[in-house]
Structure 1
Amino acid sequence: MAPNSQLPVAVPLMLLGLLMSSIQLTDAQIGVCYGRIGNNLPPEQDVVNLYKSSGIARMRLYDPDQKALQALRGSSIGLILDVPKPSLQSLGSDPSAASQWVQSNVQPYASDVNFRYISVGNEIEPSDAEASSVLPAMQNILTALQSANLAGQIKVSTAIKMDLITNSYPPSNGVFTGPATQYITPIINFLKSNGSPLLVNVYPYFSYTDNPQQIALNYALFQPGTTVTDGSLQYYNLFDALVDAVYAALANVGAPNVPIVVSESGWPSAGDNAATPQNAGTYYQNLINHVKQGTPKKPGAIETYLFAMFDENLKDAGVEQHFGLFTPDKQPKYQLSFS
């Protein structure tokens, strides 16, 4: 997760009341990320049961945890499974390692776990040592899926963060940064060739807190009061502006039809002045309601994964520990009623 320098027209900030909400998940193609960086989280089977009882139909899992994959059997929950960063170099350099990864973590579960995407890396920066391994690892994983006759049902992608985009105000000016262009363009060509989406982590929270004098809180929270005009399009919230800036960047590198899946989006409930239960609850409710309609540039429901299922007490101190929709004892933080 990282800030972005989106700069819409500023208006006075609005104070928000405590949200009481009732949410329909399935129509909006909503999932929830299952982060596990905590020492007080419930057992994996309890977590999957909580997804099911809450009506949460999709999950992102950041590593191939065998207990979690076992718990997902027969659940019908659509899954994004990550290849974690420490595995990228070996999978990129050795096709047999990628084949073994698929044989160990996908094939045994493919008959009764609903894999949607393999995310080869999460928020890899062009300067990271692993950056040069992302595309070869994606290619090797795809080859392994093809060998297992699974490529038709599982797409291979990678998840990026918004700091790979610059000139994002107005959204139609969005382009990949210079270093990012060299890194991401071959990856995007892979996605285009294989009919895969680009996974993007989109956080209006970080954009707002990075520029609180220039970005209105109501604009970040899907509240009325701010309109940004971009040619023939009008933007009433920062989420749409950020997503469409990525679409503009994709078009700029010759891939206007590569779809975007929002692989993370959330708002913390503590750790910063803007991180309150009121703001977080408002953001999640309005996000779920909003993604049914898509963005001004790309109408249509956006597959979106809320970050995250639980507060994670072993993450960095501050806001990173407070993104959970539920507390570790499985109690909802925002009195949200999932259907």
Structure 2
Amino acid sequence: MLYEPFKAPNIELMLGLPNPDLQRIASSQANANAWVQSNVKQFGNVKFRYIAVGNEVKPSDSSAQFLVPAMQNIRNALNSAGLGSIKVSTAIDYGVIADGSFPPSKGSFRGDPPSPQVSDPPLSYQNLFDANLDTVYAALEKSGGGSLEIVVSESGWPTAGETGTSVDNARTYNNNLVQHVKRGSPKRPGKPIETYIFAMFDESNKNPELEKHWGLFSPNKQPKYDINLN
């Protein structure tokens, strides 16, 4: 079984609902209930922390109109199944951030990327991860959502497919990421950033070539490199 290695009590998973399923789930509470029963409820020994409904849905996408209704139906389905502790979210496309949202304190959402090091007094940034995160925090604050917490639903590094991709680079990035998020961002120092590594497995059927090689594991379930998650 796919989830068998992840039954340990200290392992938490985020489960994604694919974009092609949004309309079906949004159109029927019964469909949402069935999805939760088949993909979540029956795996009682696996600790699912989040359901990510859709992935990087743009406001201009035809599926955008189904995103919020699908999230609401999944929320209702989880509650009905006695799984109310599982949170429902979505992975946003960074295109929802307005042009000119840099430095991070200038962050705002659209009405309808930075250099390796930048100063945003009194803060300074040395990587895109922190800069992008704090840009979204600034946009939330300006929209009245400053109390909301951001979960980084995916960050990672591919092992092949483009210049700069290798097993060594992926190992270095992901191991450093685990340690980095413990310290928080410049805007919220000392507050660990809940972060999920993308991805668990390589996806050999995806295109372009770069998209095939983000996994910590090969499709045969063998680890591609060592990673310390502590």
**Is 1:86 aligned to residue 20 of structure 2?**
yes
Equivalent residues in 2 for 1:1-339, closer than 5 Å: 44=2, 48-49=4-5, 72=6, 74-76=7-9, 77-110=11-44, 112-151=45-84, 153-166=85-98, 167-179=100-112, 215=115, 219=116, 226=117, 228-299=118-189, 300-336=191-227
* Deviation of the 1:292 alpha carbon: 0.4
**Does the 8 Å CA contact 1:168/1:242 hold for their aligned counterparts?**
no
Aligned pair in 2 of structure 1 residues 268, 168: CA closer, same or farther (>3 Å)? farther
* Deviation of the 1:337 alpha carbon: 5.3
Report the secondary structure of 2:65's partner residue: helix
Aligned pair in 2 of structure 1 residues 126, 107: CA closer, same or farther (>3 Å)? same
The TM-score, its normalising length taken from structure 1, stands at 0.61
* Deviation of the 1:254 alpha carbon: 1.1
Across the aligned residues of Structure 1 and Structure 2, the Cα RMSD in angstroms comes to: 2.4
List gaps (5 residues or longer) in structure 2: none
**Does the 8 Å CA contact 2:58/2:95 hold for their aligned counterparts?**
no
* Deviation of the 1:235 alpha carbon: 1.5
**Does the 8 Å CA contact 2:183/2:192 hold for their aligned counterparts?**
yes
Partners in 2 of 1:332 and 1:119 — Cα distance? Answer: 24
Partners in 2 of 1:249 and 1:137 — Cα distance? Answer: 24
Query: Over residues 108-138 of structure 1, what are the superposed CA-to-partner deviations in whole Å (9 max), with x where a residue is unaligned?
Result: 334x331211211111111122111111111
**Identical residues among aligned pairs (%):** 51
Q: Greater relative contact order: 1 or 2 (C-alpha under 8 angstroms, separation 6 or more)?
A: 1
The TM-score, its normalising length taken from structure 2, stands at 0.86
List gaps (5 residues or longer) in structure 1: 1-42, 50-71, 180-206, 208-213, 220-225
**Does the 8 Å CA contact 1:311/1:324 hold for their aligned counterparts?**
yes
Partners in 2 of 1:261 and 1:231 — Cα distance? Answer: 25
